[in-house]
A and B are shown apart, each in its own frame.
Chain A
Amino acid sequence: MDDVTTFAQAAEKHLDDVYGYLVWFTGDRFLAEDLAAETFERALRLWHRFDPRRGSARTWLCQVARTAALDHFRSEKRRQRREQLVALPERFEERLAEGLSPELEAALRRLTAGEREVIALRVVLEFDARTAASMLGISPTNCTTRLNRALGKLEEALGVAA
């Protein structure tokens, strides 16, 4: 639990986490910026529902970010279907994050959004299994399985020795 009491404090303290989560989830830094802004606008409207006893502000903000991202994915899918586009949406191949080796970044881009998301939550943001599972709406066991599968794919792509 964190000790934020106001929305401004929460926004200031957890902006990087929310943004980082969205970058990993979407694989697109520009899109992540847009979604982060939308996340905080939504969070402001819903702030009266935030209950610190039920979870930290960081967890709550990431959940709002996830909903925003999923809404974006859905609308994007509808748009693609409408326009009958088979190709993936146009994306600038900007670096996913500073400090990643080109091989690792390439391997990460080959993962699905769901796999990148679980790595972002469990490895990058270091949420515990129970919290991450709660955010994803799955069981902790399922969350761990999903993480192991994603890491396994990365290791396979990079030829990592266990």
Chain B
Amino acid sequence: MSQPDLLTELRAARPVAPAELREHVRRIAAGAAAERRRRLTWRRALLIAVPVAAAIAGAALLVPGNSHRASAPAVVHRAATPLAPVVQSKAAAGAGSASAIPRPSPNRVQRISATLQLRVPSTEAVSDATKQAVAIARSLGGYPSRVNVDAAGRSGYATIVLRVPKERVQQAVARLSALGTIVGENVAIQDLQTQVDASARKLKRLEARLAYWQSQPQTEQAQKQVASFTAAIAKLKRSRAATVRSASYSTLTVQLTTRPAPAIVQKKQGPLHGLGVAFRWLGIGALYTVALAGPFVLLFVLGWLVARTVRRHREDALLSRS
């Protein structure tokens, strides 16, 4: 027998399935048709999920308004931090001058402070506006607390701190706002009435104690107590008077500058800009994922390789029997 004969004999001896087995397999196949139902495989799920996710992402990125949020005007400057304000408001350029300042309550002790940031066209205008601001404060019964002007260079700058009676603060702000273009405004109102009321109650208690010790025989101890209470009452009265006095004037800080307002960066962004941003963030996310999951994936791959090698060795051993 030659090798081709051997191969021919092997091919010719191809076993044929017995009729019972064929019948059995046909029954299995017939059951398949009855059982046929639509299965949601991960591929089908992915086929649906990916376009839906892409559509949602696209819609979210291309909806007008999202891009405007990123380029909000950068012309609002915050003034100095107000003293624990009860009411604090800020206004940007173009806002109504007096609208940001509520009418002060005549029956309550309130500390009002406001900051106005104004842009003027030239250094000369800085000087003029400074003079006018001081004049406005004086005309309303107020006074300048601090004036700092720098109009020597190409760009001028001035900070004027004014004290204006609180009942005229709205009027003052309205007039000061007319000195230039408003680029920022910050108003803070701190209610001090509770503090003043507490001082009044404490004063009453101290006065009652003082009256008691004054009515007692004036021993050395009684005299010490009278002196102590008298001093405490005087101190408290001074403190309360200072609080009320300081609250009767509002503090207005006017900042004048010749510097143009920072240009609002309005880059021409194409319709795919949002998509680019999304891809950038996706890239960052992918980088983090790779960095964090990399070692685990490596361990998994190594484990899989070892398992596969072991499985093959076992398989070979299994198949080495006749």
Residues of A within 8 A of B (CB): 6-8, 11-12, 15-16, 18-20, 23-24, 27, 29, 32-33, 36-37, 40-41, 44, 47-48, 70, 73-74, 77, 88, 96-101, 104, 109-114, 117, 119, 123-124, 126, 137, 151, 154-155, 158-162
Apart from A19-B15, A160-B1, what 4 extra A-B contacts exist at CB < 8 Å? A16-B15, A23-B15, A104-B6, A161-B2
A155–B29 touching, CB < 8 Å: no
Residue of A nearest to B29 (CB): A8
Residues of B within 8 A of A (CB): 1-3, 5-7, 9-18, 20-22, 24-26, 28-33, 35, 39, 41, 312, 315-316, 318-322
- Name the B residues within 8 Å of A104 (CB-CB): 6, 9-10, 13
- Which of B5, B6, B10, B31 lies at the interface centre, i.e. has the most chain A CB atoms within 10 A of its CB? B10
Residue of B nearest to A74 (CB): B318
Specify the main secondary structure of chain B where it touches its partner: helix
Give Cα A111 to B44, complex, Å. Answer: 46
- Which of B2, B5, B11, B28 lies at the interface centre, i.e. has the most chain A CB atoms within 10 A of its CB? B28
- Name the A residues within 8 Å of B26 (CB-CB): 8, 11-12
Give Cα A33 to B15, complex, Å. Answer: 11
Give Cα A96 to B281, complex, Å. Answer: 65
B318–A15 touching, CB < 8 Å: no
Cβ-defined partner of B17 (8 Å) among A8, A19, A88, A119: A19
Q: How far is the CB of A86 from chain B (nearest CB, A)?
A: 12
Residue of A nearest to B311 (CB): A137
- Name the B residues within 8 Å of A111 (CB-CB): 322
Q: How far is the CB of A22 from chain B (nearest CB, A)?
A: 9
- Name the B residues within 8 Å of A18 (CB-CB): 17
- Name the B residues within 8 Å of A24 (CB-CB): 15
Instruction: Given A112-B319, A124-B10, check contact A8 B21 (CB 8 Å).
Output: no
Instruction: Given A12-B29, A112-B321, A113-B319, check contact A19 B21 (CB 8 Å).
Output: yes
B10–A11 touching, CB < 8 Å: no
Cβ-defined partner of B33 (8 Å) among A8, A110, A124, A126: A8
Cβ-defined partner of B18 (8 Å) among A33, A100, A101: A33
Q: How far is the CB of A52 from chain B (nearest CB, A)?
A: 14
B28–A36 touching, CB < 8 Å: no
- Name the B residues within 8 Å of A96 (CB-CB): 13, 15
Residue of B nearest to A21 (CB): B15
B32–A7 touching, CB < 8 Å: yes
A44–B32 touching, CB < 8 Å: yes
Give Cα A80 to B5, complex, Å. Answer: 39
Cβ-defined partner of B322 (8 Å) among A98, A110, A162: A110
A97–B32 touching, CB < 8 Å: no
Instruction: Given A11-B26, A151-B3, check contact A33 B21 (CB 8 Å).
Output: yes
- Name the B residues within 8 Å of A44 (CB-CB): 28-29, 31-32, 35
- Name the B residues within 8 Å of A137 (CB-CB): 312, 315
Residue of A nearest to B22 (CB): A15
Cβ-defined partner of B6 (8 Å) among A7, A19, A158: A158
Instruction: Given A12-B26, A15-B22, check contact A160 B2 (CB 8 Å).
Output: yes
- Name the A residues within 8 Å of B10 (CB-CB): 100, 104, 119, 123-124
- Name the B residues within 8 Å of A23 (CB-CB): 15
A160–B3 touching, CB < 8 Å: yes
B6–A98 touching, CB < 8 Å: no
- The 10 A-B residue pairs with the shortest CB-CB distance, nearest first, are A114-B319, A8-B29, A97-B13, A19-B17, A99-B13, A20-B15, A100-B13, A23-B15, A11-B29, A113-B319
Give Cα A101 to B12, complex, Å. Answer: 11
- Name the A residues within 8 Å of B7 (CB-CB): 123
Residue of A nearest to B39 (CB): A48
Instruction: Given A47-B32, A104-B6, A155-B6, check contact A124 B25 (CB 8 Å).
Output: no
Give Cα A15 to B25, complex, Å. Answer: 8
- Name the A residues within 8 Å of B33 (CB-CB): 6, 8
- Name the A residues within 8 Å of B11 (CB-CB): 123-124, 126
- Name the A residues within 8 Å of B30 (CB-CB): 8
Give Cα A41 to B27, complex, Å. Answer: 10
B319–A117 touching, CB < 8 Å: yes
A27–B32 touching, CB < 8 Å: no
